[in-house]
Structure 1
Amino acid sequence: MFVASTYEEPALTSEPVSALSPVRLRTVAEEVADRLTTAIAVGEFLPGQGLPAEREMAQMLDVSRGAVREALSRLDALGVVEIRRGRLGGAFVRESWAEGSAEAVRRTLLPRWEEMEQLFDLCGLVEGTVARAAAERRTEADLAALHTAFEAYRDASSATEEQSADHAFHTALRHAAGNPRLAALALGLSTDAALGFPHYPWGASDDNSSARALREHEALLAAVEAGDPERAGEIAREHFTITAEIIRQALDRGLTS
């Protein structure tokens, strides 16, 4: 759960404090570096995975490519990513949690935590609406896509494969809802909750989020296939709390590290 920070009055000293002390403003590149470090810490990008190309990340975060390039250089220096050159190069995740990750997580999440909690609630409501619509409107083709994604998740042999199958399952569910605007809204909100990246956070290997997701995917697929909108909506709304819990756990770790 979220751990509130405590405040202590600074000790009084006899030294004067200048009202004109310099104020250090954070650069866009520093903000992007913190955002990326936090996204990696919550498992949106897993060790061994390549990050999106500079141009793609610049569009996702609405910043310049130069800011992204500088941010990646910072992460490379910290050992969070490895930058490889050449045709198959790019930035690849080395560690999900490295030196400096705790500070980056705090700087990224704490100032917007109230907004994040509101966003988690809204995402759950919208995901429930998507699932109810899918249960009412799904076609045989939709069910086939959901079954394929579910089986890929069930048979996955790595966290990367699970994450890919999870993405496919939720994409198929949004399509089954039969309303592109609703699908776009759900995707946009979940992207906002994931700090601007279209990836669901993935828990640490020692938690139970992966097994829980598999159970809930199975139950959600059964409800959609049975045409039970109330059951589907209930499962989907609860299912999104996995994302919220993973991000809360990352903040807890950032506050106690």
Structure 2
Amino acid sequence: MLDRVLLGGNAASALRPVRVTSAVDEVADRLLTAIAVGDFLPGERLPAERELTTLLHVSRPTVREAIGRLQAIGVIEIRRGRNGGAYVRDSWTESTAAAVRHTLLPRWEEFEQLFDLRSLVEGMVAATAARRRGPKDLDPMRDALNAYLSARTPRDEQAADSAFHQAVGAATGNPQIVLLSRDLLARISLGFPVEPWGKGERTHFQRGSHDHKALYEAIAAGEPERAEEIARGHFMISAEMIRDVLARVRGADTP
């Protein structure tokens, strides 16, 4: 739906399905970039082949070959057994800069539009939650906030952050709002419905802690204007992380 609204009636947008003529290249580049911005963190398992085919609109052989390329350059390792799969080893290699250029630069103007749109939409989500939330809506929000504040690893932080914002979305009482929020997240995260997490910098965690506490308090107090303002600023953190990755590449290109 958002593809049609933003870009004139088809899905060939900033996060268009991978082009068939260069599918393996694009899948590999998109995965490398997603790892660089922290959609998937070191030690974390990538989505299974079947899920990746659905997210990226390509065949399983294409996904399998792209995963093989990432294994060959040392970004991921393949583990066998019950908990087997493709696990992230490193967030940045010599191949990452080229992948970021191919994935982000041609579509950067559209990404900036999406960052702006997401800030506006998530402000609306927070304001609606503040207007509509019931007493029971606050419990999962508070639990997720406590989990975030007590997290010991970037992956735990990322999971608690997701749970917190899911609880805020649920408090709106409108599943379509939740779907809209998820769609925008996937579009800024290269097709994966996962919040970028950078390298787990403590400055981002500390800012997130402050924002989460303030947002919870505004929603609990039924203050929609305050909740909207906090959320609009908070959801620019992910945009800043992606900008940082692109700036790293541009800096490397500078003589």
1:219 to 2:214 alignment: yes
Q: Which residue of 1 aligns with 2:5?
A: none
Aligned residue identity for 2:73? L
User: What does 1:134-145 align with in structure 2 at a 5 Å threshold?
Assistant: 134-145=129-140
Gaps of 5+ in 1: 1-24
User: Which protein is bigger by CA-based radius of gyration?
Assistant: 1
How far apart, CA to CA, are the structure 1 residues paired with 2:167 and 2:84? 31
- 1:203–1:210 CA contact under 8 A, matched in 2: no
Gaps of 5+ in 2: 1-19
TM-score scaled by length of structure 1: 0.88
- 1:216–1:239 CA contact under 8 A, matched in 2: yes
User: Residue 83 of structure 1 aligns to a residue in which SS?
Assistant: strand
Q: Report which of the two has the higher share of helix.
A: 2
- Give the superposition deviation at 1:83: 1.2
Aligned residue identity for 1:218? K
- Give the superposition deviation at 1:141: 1.8
The partner residue of 1:35 within 26, 30, 42 is 30
Q: Which residue of 1 aligns with 2:234?
A: 239
- 2:148–2:157 CA contact under 8 A, matched in 1: yes
Q: CA RMSD in A?
A: 1.2
1:128 to 2:123 alignment: yes
Aligned pair count reads: 233
The partner residue of 1:156 within 144, 148, 151 is 151
- 1:191–1:198 CA contact under 8 A, matched in 2: yes
Q: Which residue of 2 aligns with 1:86?
A: 81
User: Residue 118 of structure 2 aligns to a residue in which SS?
Assistant: helix
- 1:201–1:243 CA contact under 8 A, matched in 2: yes
The partner residue of 1:51 within 25, 43, 46 is 46
How far apart, CA to CA, are the structure 1 residues paired with 2:243 and 2:34? 13
- 2:42–2:89 CA contact under 8 A, matched in 1: yes
Aligned residue identity for 1:186? S
How far apart, CA to CA, are the structure 2 residues paired with 1:100 and 1:207? 26
Runs of 4+ in 1 over 3 A off after TM superposition: none
Q: Which residue of 1 aligns with 2:72?
A: 77
- Give the superposition deviation at 1:67: 1.1
User: Residue 27 of structure 1 aligns to a residue in which SS?
Assistant: helix
